[in-house]
Each structure stands twice: as structure tokens, then as C-alpha cells.
Copies of this chain bind each other. A is one copy, B any other.
């Protein structure tokens, strides 16, 4: 059953605000593409870009950052490309999301890895936003911790 919104208004966006960045979206697709390969042979950026409908130049920078953060290996020259370093079963979504999208928490004051006090908040202990976002963080963490790259295939 659909939980229909009670109020109209908010005509100002019709999904003008996709909260997941294209960077993350493309990164996830690329990782999945590599995880779906039969062997571990390097795959060229151009192949991934074409098959997944991604701007090649943009994808270049994303794969580069995935390599620098330890998810991918690369090989230059002919026959080169990118390949997964670990088994898809061992690639946790928590780690992938933190590298691609950034902190999992929606506010710094509930972040495990990137904690910061909110500059404008008087008291964290009685802050309603803190209270709600803590629950949201835990719910998201639960999902990301229980999903690996292997779970995204097919």
C-alpha cells in the first residue's frame, strides 16, 4: 500500500533533487560491471562508459578515486584497464558509499567517522534533529553494512 502524501504544495521540484550524486551512481554501476566479469582481466573505461551510458571523462575521475581508495587496480597501455581487487563479497557498501558519496550521516553531529559539533546548535543532548538523524543514520548503516557488491549483481 502506498503511503500517499497528505499535503500537496512543494510544486517547486519534481525530482530536481536526486540526493544520490551521479558520481556515486556511476561508481556503483562501474563496480557492479566489473564484479560481473567472468575473469579478472582489466576492462577499459571506454567499455564501461559505453555499456553503462556514462560520460567517459567523468567516469575516468571516478574510477581513479576508486583505485586510490583501494577498491580497484589498474593497468596502463594496451590490454589495460580497471579490475576489482577484492572479491565482491568482501566489498562492503559502507566503505563504497563513504568514498563515493561521503559521510553516511545526514548531519555531522551524528557521524561516526566524520563527527563535528554543529556550529549553530546550543545543546546536542536535547536537539531534536540530532535525535531523529541518529535513528536515520543507524537505519542506513544497517543497510550498508549488510550489503556487499555481490548483493548488487542481477
Contacts A25-B129, A29-B128, A113-B5 given: A17-B103 contact, CB under 8 Å?
yes
Q: Which of B19, B116, B127 contacts A15 (CB 8 A)?
A: B116
Contacts A9-B65, A95-B6, A152-B128 given: A53-B139 contact, CB under 8 Å?
no
A152 to B78, CA, bound (A): 59
Interface magnitude class on chain A: 35 or more
Contacts A98-B10, A152-B131 given: A106-B19 contact, CB under 8 Å?
yes
Contacts A9-B65, A9-B69, A136-B140 given: A128-B20 contact, CB under 8 Å?
no
Q: Could you say how many copies of this chain the assembly holds?
A: 2
Q: Is A40 an interface residue (CB 8 A)?
A: no
Q: Distance (Å) between the CB of A35 and the closest chain B CB? A: 9
A147 to B129, CA, bound (A): 12
B135 pairs with A95, CB closer than 8 A: no
A135 to B142, CA, bound (A): 10
A122 to B143, CA, bound (A): 25
A132 to B53, CA, bound (A): 19
Closest 7 A/B residue pairs (Cβ):
A128-B152, A32-B128, A20-B106, A7-B69, A139-B139, A15-B108, A19-B106
